Structure 1
């Protein structure tokens, strides 16, 4: 029993030594396979294999005219609005329009009972006729007094008195004519006509009601919607360019639906306000639209698009070609050997689909528009067409 333990210990140490030797031999073999001459030649062969070109989409820089638009929010306003009121007191005899009706300038709206005003006119006419008859008699007396005066049968005082009577009647007749004109004017006020062409709103009175010249509510509102106006704003930084362009030709303005997808009407800029809103840093503008189809309605909110200017003959590329990096804006330009180089750009305005290049690109050069994330200067590319995109667009 005493000899058994040392023997077992010797066996364990032998097995452990053999295991360690086996691990050392295996590690050496793996290291030889990985770092030996064959591994080095294998890595060299892999490095010698060409890198696959990066698939990209490209576009050509071209010279074109670019319209510069200013987008904003606006509200539609009636071109003119009139509250129709009575200018005399009386009872409504007839209403000649319906609510919401389009009326033309001069159309009959309301007829007020004209009889009291006709009677006043007749009285004024009769009074003038009476005074004219008295003037005829007074002039005859004046002529007789003049003849008597020449023969010393009348005094100068009698003649002057008769002359004063004639002059008084002449003045009275002039007053009568003024009364006639006033009565005739009051009579015309009993017929209320549309002062402009437009659309009527809610009627505030009914037939048979009494109306007064002092009524504040009026009879009906008429709004002119052909043409119609849209008031909107633009940044004050654009004021100089707007004024310069407007001085040459009226600028075009489009009114769009609130989602900016549908064009409702096309009009012209008619007013640049005379002061800037210091609270918002904007300038108010007004555009006129003919609105024959009544697509615009007073009170509507619309998106606006103002054609501020058109850049002539500038170099442009698709907006997706312009990328932003630590050094600013750049693009990958395709070289003749189908590799790319990074080109820093001086970019002007960027529209929804175009970017204006001030410096860094020339018309005719090819730039990458898609696939930038795998590119580096000097990397080879493979140009793919837009067929998948076109198919997807047709399916939509």
Structure 2
């Protein structure tokens, strides 16, 4: 019985010791958080801030367009014959009137001489008929010949006059055909690949032509915008405004040119609900290439002196559209705002904020109404290095155990010397 009471006492003592240890361990964990780290629930949150400022917001309409030349001409022969010479090189830039090719002119030179000969003959016949008519006129006055003879001669003169007119037209046609033997550029531009070689027999009905000339300067871009975006564009055009159009490459990284809006189409495409517009560009460096797909940014208007903040500051939630506004005590409050125009990076605030207010743009996911914040350090300020994890605890434990502690270590050295 005495032994049982002794065992019960020992068990009760162990239970007290274990309970006390568990209590102190739980208290330390609750105060320090998991793994002995400080509890961050009420710690300030480091955030990124932006200041409400005044600025201009461009109203830009974005669209995908196709580079479309203002003139693309397939050069064809206007006569039939053998192509004697090709006077251009592929890819050459030409001016209007430059010689491109020559068709064998010899048959047309011969035809011109024939037409001139016929004209000379008929003019001689006409002159003789006119002299006879003058003689008959005098004889009729003297009643020496019949009136019918005079009328017949007058009709013959008119026939020769018509024949001469026809002959002169034939001479002009022969001269024109001779001109057509020299094929010239009908417009400025750049020549593409050659479609026919010298020595081939070309005809008026050839569908391929000799070459294609594309006008490169200036260049136009045709693009489509939604019908809902058309009214402000037409309003600005009626006011006489020049709307700037910027062309960018497919990745929207390289600016290919800056031009202006020329016109809009006269009808809306009912299948897509869009309307086509045309913008022109100088294209002095020929960065815009025919049939190239480009991104167009059409500057329709600009909102002046608006209160602007970064788009990242705008939040959507149960209150509606809001921002986290920073208060003087470094806490934040939810401020419901009304927004206006945006350029993609900044957005205008029409109601809810004042000039020079500060709003949170980074770290909003960790904030609540009334949360404490830590402002970012100024640019160039030194940042204190955090101690290695567990360094403080190991130092304290080492001091308690006496491993590097100067007091206990000195005591051992004193005992050793003794």
TM-score by length of 1: 0.84
Is the counterpart of residue 266 in structure 1 residue 273 in structure 2? no
Q: In 2, distance between residues paired with 1:11 and 1:380?
A: 62
Following the alignment from structure 1 to structure 2, what is the Cα–Cα distance between the partners of residues 83 and 351?
43
Q: Which moved more, 1:325-334 or 1:104-113?
A: 325-334
Contact 1:132/1:169 (CA < 8 Å) preserved in 2? yes
Q: Secondary structure of 2:288's partner?
A: coil
Is 1:319–1:351's contact at 8 Å kept on the other side of the alignment?
A: no
Q: Give CA deviations for 1:12-67 in whole Å, capped at 9, x if unaligned.
A: 476347635874798699989999xxxxxxxxxxxxxxx65443332221222111
Whether 2:123 is the aligned partner of 1:132: answer yes
How big is the shift at 1:120?
1.2
Contact 2:339 2:350 (C-alpha < 8 Å) held by counterparts: yes
For the residues of structure 1 that align with 2:120 and 2:25, how far apart are their CA atoms?
138
Contact 2:57/2:342, CA 8 A, preserved across alignment: no
On the 8 A contact 1:57/1:385 being kept in 2, the answer is no
Work out which of the residue numbers 66, 88, 94 in structure 1 matches 2:85: 94
Cα distance between partner residues in 2 of 1:97 and 1:15 = 117
Distance in 2 between residues matched to 1:137 and 1:33, nearest whole Å: 141
Instruction: Kindly indicate whether the alpha-carbon contact (under 8 Å) linking 2:187 and 2:215 is maintained by their aligned counterparts in 1.
Output: yes
Q: Is there any run of 5+ residues in structure 1 with no aligned partner, and where?
A: 1-6, 36-50, 390-396
Instruction: Report the counterpart of residue 65 of structure 1 in structure 2.
Output: 56
**Alpha-carbon distance between aligned partners in 2 of 1:382 and 1:32, rounded to the nearest angstrom:** 33
* Structure 2: tracts of 5 or more residues without a match: 28-41, 382-418
Tell me the secondary structure at the aligned position of residue 269 of structure 1: strand
- Once the two structures are overlaid, the 10-residue window that deviates more, 81-90 or 286-295, is 286-295
1:142 to 130, 133, 148: 133
Q: Distance in 2 between matches of 1:335 and 1:158?
A: 121
Partners of 1:305 and 1:138 lie apart in 2 by 76
SS of the residue 1:277 aligns to: coil
Partner Cα distance (2:18, 2:204) in 1? 116
CA contact (8 A) 1:57 1:386 kept: no
The change in CA–CA distance for 1:201 and 1:29 in structure 2 (over 3 A counts) is closer
Q: 1:195 aligns with which of 182, 186, 204?
A: 186
Q: Which residue of 2 aligns with 1:316?
A: 308
Q: Report SS of the residue matched to 1:225.
A: coil
Q: Closer, same or farther in 2 for the Cα pair 1:263/1:272, shift >3 Å? A: same
Of 283, 287, 298, 2:290 maps to: 298
Change (3 A) 1:158 1:382: same
Identify if the C-alpha distance between structure 1 residues 129 and 25 changes in structure 2 by more than 3 Å, giving closer, same or farther: closer
Alignment partners' CA distance in 2, 1:285 and 1:32 = 78
1:164 aligns to 2:149 (yes or no): no
Matched with 2:414 is none
Residue 251 of structure 1: which of 243, 254, 259 is its match? 243
Q: Is the 8 A contact 1:345 1:357 kept in 2?
A: yes
Residue in structure 2 matching 1:77, options 61, 65, 68:
68
CA change 1:32–1:67 in 2 (3 A) is closer
SS in 2 for 1:233: strand
Aligned to 2:275: 283
Q: Number of aligned residue pairs: give it.
A: 367
Query: 3-state DSSP class of the match of 2:88?
Result: coil
TM-score computed with the length of structure 2 as normaliser: 0.80
Residue among 218, 226, 231 paired with 1:240: 231
Calculate the aligned-residue CA RMSD, in Å: 2.8
Tell me by how many angstroms 1:246 deviates.
2.9
Q: Distance in 1 between matches of 2:57 and 2:309?
A: 11
Runs of 4+ in 1 over 6 A off after TM superposition: 28-35
Using the TM superposition, give the Cα deviation of residue 308 of structure 1 relative to its aligned residue in structure 2, in angstroms: 2.2
Task: Report the counterpart of residue 110 of structure 1 in structure 2.
Answer: 101
CA distance in 1, matches of 2:199, 2:25: 114
Q: Deviations over 1:312-338 (max 9, x none)?
A: 221111122212222222112223343
Q: What are the superposed Cα offsets for residues 163-203 of structure 1, whole Å, 9 maximum, x if unpaired?
A: 11111111111111111121111111111100001111111
What is the alpha-carbon distance in structure 2 between the residues aligned to residue 388 and residue 223 of structure 1? 56
CA gap 1:30/1:211 in 2 versus in 1, 3 angstroms: closer
Tell whether 2:351 aligns with 1:359.
Answer: yes
| Greater per-residue strand proportion | 1
C-alpha displacement at 1:119, in angstroms? 1.4
